[in-house]
Amino acid sequence: MTPGARVAAAIEVLERIRGGEPAEKALTNWARTARYAGSKDRAALRDHVFSVLRCWWSCAAWGGGEDGRALLLGSLRLQGIDADTVFTGEGHAPAPLTEVERVLAVPDATAVRDLPDWLWERFEASLGANAEAAVEALRVRAPIMLRVNARRATRAAAQARLASEGIVAQPVEIARHALQVIDGERKITTSQCYAEGWVELQDGSSQAAMEALELPDGARVLDYCAGGGGKVLALAARVTGAFFAHDAAPQRMRDLPVRAARAGVDVGLLTQPEGEFDLVLCDAPCSGSGTWRRTPEAKWALTPERLEELTRLQLRILSEAAPLVAPAGRLVYATCSVLKEENQDVIARFASENPEWTVREMQHWPISETGDGFFLSQLERVC
């Protein structure tokens, strides 16, 4: 496909999204009707669509409207691409720019903030002077991060082996085993390095948070909201111990046995956890506000009601998990949100309703070049 045809396809997909289709579904549905599109075309299309979703209001301001064509025009202008070279009308490219489109005024960049107003208030209340930087960070593409599995390889060995498979990655400071992928990201999941469990895809802040947990050899660990199991795998790579995973929706853990086998670790799946664990991790469902550059639709879809519902669920999960912690053990609460309603406020409320628990530590990771926004709190029983 030509650059113009890719932009035309992106306009079509954005129209589907405006019509109510979720972005992933709209992209899949489009691909079904366009068998001629190769993997590079699909990746380019996705980039166009996600660039708009991350910066919807800026694109609308720079493109003079909120239909697919205006949004794409705005997105190209924002990226400094001469739209006349793409809107040519040739082949499958979109029609040439009209005079009105060509003379659109460049808006004042500071006047547009790509976040719903109600959320801006929450960002300011949560992050203070860092709120603007967080909103700005959510406007750009997320880094592709790998965690090197210390049970299989050193970071240097994994970096060299990835390079031999055409994947350029470099060590970054955020976590001890973190590599940032610079080139060849589409080869990761088909590489030998990945198949043999040397590396896993995992955001830098999640890696750093799992490294921050004190974990003695032989510990019994329960990942209470395990999902795909990224966190428990990171913990199991650190020490020998007994590792278990639970999720209220067990089907979310379906890939975990394969991932654990690849990584060379054992993780038991528990539908009804019982007994005592030295560490119980609650990586709770949340707004995901720290990860919205990966899932930009979510920042426009969240409502105050949904946020409130999530905080109730987060408190409930902590109450369910707390009895599973051994007397001298730790209850760990984590979210990939930057909102204090889901972080400090949940912890403060839990501690005030459960005075036998005290907060030992609270840590925040900002949305950065190598990590998503992340929150971690560790609680212990009062002696």
Ligand X SMILES: C[S@@+](CC[C@H](N)C(=O)[O-])C[C@H]1O[C@@H](n2cnc3c(N)ncnc32)[C@H](O)[C@@H]1O
Taking Cα atoms as reference points, which of 95, 33, 99 lies closest to residue 68? 95
Sequence-distant (6+) residues with CB within 8 A of 94 are 4, 7, 8, 11, 69, 72, 86, 87
- Which region among 116-124, 213-221, 248-256, 367-375 touches ligand X (by CB under 6 A)? 248-256
Q: Is 369 helix (H, G, I), strand (E, B) or coil?
A: coil
Instruction: Count how many Cα atoms sit within 13 Å of the Cα of residue 191 in the half-sphere of its side chain.
Output: 25
- Name the residue nearer to ligand X (CB basis): 160 or 261: 261
- Name the residue nearer to ligand X (CB basis): 224 or 365: 224
- For the record, the structure tokens of 267 come out as 């993780």
Whether the Cβ atoms of residue 23 and residue 49 lie closer than 8 Å to each other: yes
Residues between 275 and 294 that touch ligand X (CB under 6 A): 283, 285
| 271 scored as a contact of ligand X (CB under 6 A) | no
| 104 scored as a contact of ligand X (CB under 6 A) | no
Query: What is d(CA 361, CA 373) in angstroms, rounded to the nearest whole number?
Result: 17
Query: What is d(CA 162, CA 164) in angstroms, rounded to the nearest whole number?
Result: 5
Query: What is d(CA 366, CA 290) in angstroms, rounded to the nearest whole number?
Result: 8
- Name the residue nearer to ligand X (CB basis): 69 or 299: 299
358, β-bridge pairs: 380
| 228 scored as a contact of ligand X (CB under 6 A) | yes
Taking Cα atoms as reference points, which of 332, 335, 311, 334 lies closest to residue 321? 332
Sequence-distant (6+) residues with CB within 8 A of 190 are none
CB of 19 to ligand X, least distance (A): 29
Residues between 311 and 330 that touch ligand X (CB under 6 A): 317
CB of 102 to ligand X, least distance (A): 46
| 248 scored as a contact of ligand X (CB under 6 A) | yes
Whether the Cβ atoms of residue 286 and residue 225 lie closer than 8 Å to each other: no
| 258 scored as a contact of ligand X (CB under 6 A) | no
Look up residue 295 and give its DSSP letter: S
End-to-end CA distance of the chain: 66
Q: Could you say which of 44, 53, 225, 235 contacts ligand X (CB under 6 A)? A: 225
247 carries a ligand binding annotation: yes
| 238 scored as a contact of ligand X (CB under 6 A) | no
Taking Cα atoms as reference points, which of 57, 189, 51 lies closest to residue 120? 57
| 249 scored as a contact of ligand X (CB under 6 A) | yes
- Which region among 52-60, 83-91, 220-228, 269-277 touches ligand X (by CB under 6 A)? 220-228
Whether the Cβ atoms of residue 291 and residue 372 lie closer than 8 Å to each other: yes
- Name the residue nearer to ligand X (CB basis): 55 or 236: 236
| 250 scored as a contact of ligand X (CB under 6 A) | no
255 carries a ligand binding annotation: no
| 247 scored as a contact of ligand X (CB under 6 A) | yes
- Name the residue nearer to ligand X (CB basis): 30 or 224: 224
Catalytic residue among 55, 59, 286, 336: 336
CB of 227 to ligand X, least distance (A): 3
| 372 scored as a contact of ligand X (CB under 6 A) | no
| 262 scored as a contact of ligand X (CB under 6 A) | no
Residues between 341 and 370 that touch ligand X (CB under 6 A): none
Residues in the interface with ligand X (CB under 6 A) total: 14
In terms of residues, how long is the chain?
A: 383
Whether the Cβ atoms of residue 246 and residue 188 lie closer than 8 Å to each other: no
Query: What is d(CA 5, CA 17) in angstroms, rounded to the nearest whole number?
Result: 18
**Known catalytic membership, residue 336:** yes
- Name the residue nearer to ligand X (CB basis): 39 or 271: 271
Q: Which residues are annotated as a binding site for S-adenosyl-L-methionine?
A: 247, 283
- Give catalytic residues, as residue numbers: 336
Residues lying near ligand X in the complex (CB under 6 A) are found at 224-228, 230-231, 247-249, 252, 283, 285, 317
